Amino acid sequence: MKLQQFEDAREFYEKVKDYLLIHEAMHNVQFAICHALIHNPERFNEKPYLAIVEADRDIIAVAMKTKARNLLLSKIQDFAVIEAIAQNLHFNQNLPPGVNAPTAEAKAFAENWHSITGQSYQLKMALCAFQLEQVQTISKVNGHLRQATQSDREILIRWFEAFVLEALQTSPTHIERAVDNHLQRGTAYIWEDRTPVSIACHTGITPNGAGVSMVYTPPEYRKNGYASACVADLSQTLLNQGYKYCFLFTDLANSTSNHIYQLIGYQAVGNLHDYCFVSN
C-alpha cells in the first residue's frame, strides 16, 4: 500500500479520472474541483492536498482538500488506507475542519481522526447523490427559464446568502465573488414569472455530466412549483448541450426536495455524510 501526493493538478486528474468515473455521480464534486484547479487556478490561494493510495499499482482511494474546506474522500476499496490518509494529513499539519465522503468512509475517517487528534466529530448533514438521464414531464408552471444577467446581480447576492444560511446552515462567505463567477461563466439561471422567483445553477462538470446546485426559492414564492420547473428546464438545457447526465445532492432531511427531484427524473445513487470536527 502506497500513499502518493501530487503537486500538479493536471497530473493528478489524469491519474484519478478513471477511478472516479466508476462512481461518477458520487464523485462529481471531485471532478468539478479538478476542473477548477486546472482551468481556474487563480481561484485557489493555497496549495491543495491531492493524494491517492495504491495497492499493487491499482488506486484504492482518492483524497482531496482545498483551502480550509472539508476533506473529500472517494469511494474506498480497502478501509485500512483511511488511517494512512489521516496520519499523512496530521503529519503535514494539513488539518481539515471536517470530512465529506460516502457514508461508511466518512464515519471511518472521523473515527480515525478522533483517535489521532482527540477531536470529536458531529454529523452536520446526511446527503444523497442523484443522477438524471432523462427529464420527466411535470405539471405546467407559469413563467420561463432564462440565464441570469448582470442586472440580476443584487438579487442573486441576496438569494445566494439565503441559500447558504438555510440549506447549508453556515455563515455566508465570498458570496459576491461566487455570484460574479457565475455571471461571468453564464452558469446561473432564473425562473421568471413576471419577476424572478427561483434560481438554480450549473455548478460543475464531469467527463459525462453536469452538476446542478444553488436551488433556491424565496419563501414568498414557494408552493407554486417554481423550483421544480427551474431545475427541470435547467437539467434539460444541460442535456441539450450534450451532457449525458445531470447530478445534484440533496439534504436527506428535506423530504420535499428529495420528492421533487425524483418526480423530475433524478434517481438516488448513494448517500454521503458531512462531518465537522470539534476540539474538546
pLDDT at res. 186: 96
Q: Which residues of the chain have pLDDT under 70?
A: none
Q: What is d(CA 94, CA 15) in angstroms, rounded to the nearest whole number?
A: 22
Which residue type does 83 have?
E
Q: What is d(CA 63, CA 191) in angstroms, rounded to the nearest whole number?
A: 37
The C-alpha cell that represents 50 in the structure block: 491531492
2-129 and 135-264 have identical folds:
yes
User: pLDDT per residue over 151-189, tens digit each?
Assistant: 999 999 999 999 999 887 777 778 999 999 999 999 999
To 10 degrees, what angle do helices 28-39 and 9-21 make?
A: 160
Structure pTM? 0.91
Query: What architecture is domain 135-264?
Result: 3-Layer(aba) Sandwich (3.40)
Three-state DSSP at 10 gives: helix
In CATH, the number for domain 2-129 is 3.40.630
Q: What is d(CA 44, CA 138) in angstroms, rounded to the nearest whole number?
A: 40
Are 144 and 118 contacting, i.e. CB atoms less than 8 angstroms apart? no
pLDDT at res. 38: 93
Indicate the burial class of 55 (C-beta count within 10 angstroms; 0-12, 13-18, 19 or more): middle
Domain boundaries, given as residue ranges, for the chain: 2-129, 135-264
